[in-house]
Structure 1
Amino acid sequence: MIDWGAFLVVALVSLVSAGLLVSVYACGLRLLAIDARPAVATVGAYACFVLCALGALFGIYLIVPALHGG
Structure 2
Amino acid sequence: MSIDWFAYLVVALVTLVATLLVVGLYSTGVRLYAISSDAGPGPAAQGRPTLVRAGAYACFALCAAAVLFGVYLIVPALHF
- The separation in 2 between residues aligned to 1:61 and 1:33, in whole angstroms, is 31
- The separation in 1 between residues aligned to 2:7 and 2:77, in whole angstroms, is 22
Higher share of residues assigned helix: 1
Question: Could you say what the CA RMSD is over the residues aligned between the two structures, in angstroms?
Answer: 1.8
Query: Which sections of structure 1, spanning at least 5 residues, go unmatched?
Result: none
Structure 2 length normalisation: TM-score? Answer: 0.77
- The separation in 2 between residues aligned to 1:41 and 1:13, in whole angstroms, is 30
Higher relative contact order (CA 8 A, sep 6+): 2
- The separation in 2 between residues aligned to 1:21 and 1:66, in whole angstroms, is 22
* Structure with the greater alpha carbon radius of gyration: 2
Query: Which sections of structure 2, spanning at least 5 residues, go unmatched?
Result: 40-44
Structure 1 length normalisation: TM-score? Answer: 0.87
Q: Give the number of aligned pairs.
A: 68
Q: Which residue number in structure 1 is paired with residue 56 of structure 2? A: 45
